[in-house]
Structure 1
Amino acid sequence: MKMSIARVLFILAPLYLLSEHAIAVNATGTTMEVRYYDRGTQDARHAYKFELIRAILESTRAEFGDYTILPFGEEPSAKRQSLLISEGKILNLLWASPGTAIAKGDVITIPVDILRGLAGFRVCLINPVNFPSGPIESLQQLQLGQGLNWADMEVYKYNGVLPKQGPTFESLFEMLAAQRYHCLPLGADEVMFTWREKKVLYPFLTLEPNLLIYYDYPVYLHVSKRIPALAERVALGLKKLQENGEFLRLFNKHHATDVAQLRLDQRKVFCLRSPYLPQKGQCEKTLNYPQLPAKR
Structure 2
Amino acid sequence: MFPIFNFRRRATLLSMAACALAAAHAPAWSGAMVYRYWDWGKTPRRDDYQVAVLELALRKTEPAYGPYWVVRVLDNLSTFRARREVNSGKRMNVLAGPWRDQRGIGPLDRNFLIDIPMLHGLLGCRRLIVRREDLPRFSQITSSAQLKQLKAGMARGWVDVDVLRHNGYKVEDSGNLNNLFDMLANQRFHYLPMSVIEVESALAQHPGLAVVPELMLYYPLPTVFYVSDHEPRLAERLEAGLAMAKRDGTLDELLARHFQKELQEVKSGPGRYFVLDNPLLPQSYAAATPAFQSR
User: Which category describes the TM-score, using the shorter chain as reference length?
Assistant: 0.7 to 0.9
Please give the secondary structure, in 1, of the residue aligned with 2:132.
coil
Assess if the C-alpha contact under 8 Å between 2:38 and 2:82 holds in 1.
no
Cα 1:280–1:85 change in 2 (3 A) is: closer
The corresponding residue for 1:187 is 195
**RMSD (Å), alpha carbons:** 3.0
Matched, 1:209 2:210: no
Q: 1:287 aligns with which of 275, 286, 289?
A: 289
Identity %: 26
**What is the deviation of 1:109?**
2.2
**What is the deviation of 1:102?**
10
**What is the deviation of 1:99?**
3.0
Matches within 5 A, 1:51-200: 51-100=52-101, 104=105, 105-131=109-135, 132-133=137-138, 134-137=140-143, 138=145, 139-165=147-173, 167-188=175-196, 190-191=197-198, 194-195=199-200, 197-200=201-204
**What is the deviation of 1:281?**
9.5
The corresponding residue for 2:48 is 47
Assess if the C-alpha contact under 8 Å between 1:140 and 1:161 holds in 2.
yes
Question: Aligned partners of 2:69 and 2:288: how far apart in 1?
Answer: 43
Please give the secondary structure, in 1, of the residue aligned with 2:90.
coil
Matched, 1:242 2:246: yes
Question: Aligned partners of 1:286 and 1:81: how far apart in 2?
Answer: 28
Assess if the C-alpha contact under 8 Å between 1:93 and 1:223 holds in 2.
yes
Deviations 1:56-81 (A, max 9, x none): 22222222222223333324333323
**What is the deviation of 1:168?**
3.5
Please give the secondary structure, in 1, of the residue aligned with 2:129.
strand
Assess if the C-alpha contact under 8 Å between 1:64 and 1:233 holds in 2.
yes
Assess if the C-alpha contact under 8 Å between 1:86 and 1:226 holds in 2.
yes
The corresponding residue for 1:37 is 38
Q: Which has the higher strand share?
A: 2
Question: Aligned partners of 2:59 and 2:124: how far apart in 1?
Answer: 29
What amino acid is aligned across from residue 183 of structure 1 in structure 2? Y
Please give the secondary structure, in 2, of the residue aligned with 1:35.
strand
**What is the deviation of 1:115?**
0.8
Please give the secondary structure, in 2, of the residue aligned with 1:84.
helix
Q: Taking structure 1 as the reference length, what is the TM-score of the superposition? A: 0.74
Please give the secondary structure, in 1, of the residue aligned with 2:170.
coil
Cα 1:55–1:281 change in 2 (3 A) is: closer
Q: Can you give the 5+ residue segments of structure 1 that lack an aligned partner in the other structure?
A: 1-27, 291-296
Please give the secondary structure, in 2, of the residue aligned with 1:163.
strand
Deviations 1:158-207 (A, max 9, x none): 2332322363324222233334332211123x23xx32x34444323322
**What is the deviation of 1:251?**
0.2
Q: How many residues align?
A: 257
Assess if the C-alpha contact under 8 Å between 1:36 and 1:91 holds in 2.
yes
**What is the deviation of 1:122?**
1.3
**What is the deviation of 1:52?**
0.9
Please give the secondary structure, in 1, of the residue aligned with 2:52.
helix
What amino acid is aligned across from residue 247 of structure 1 in structure 2? L
Q: List 4+ stretches of structure 1 deviating above 6 A.
A: none
Please give the secondary structure, in 1, of the residue aligned with 2:213.
coil
Cα 1:166–1:46 change in 2 (3 A) is: farther
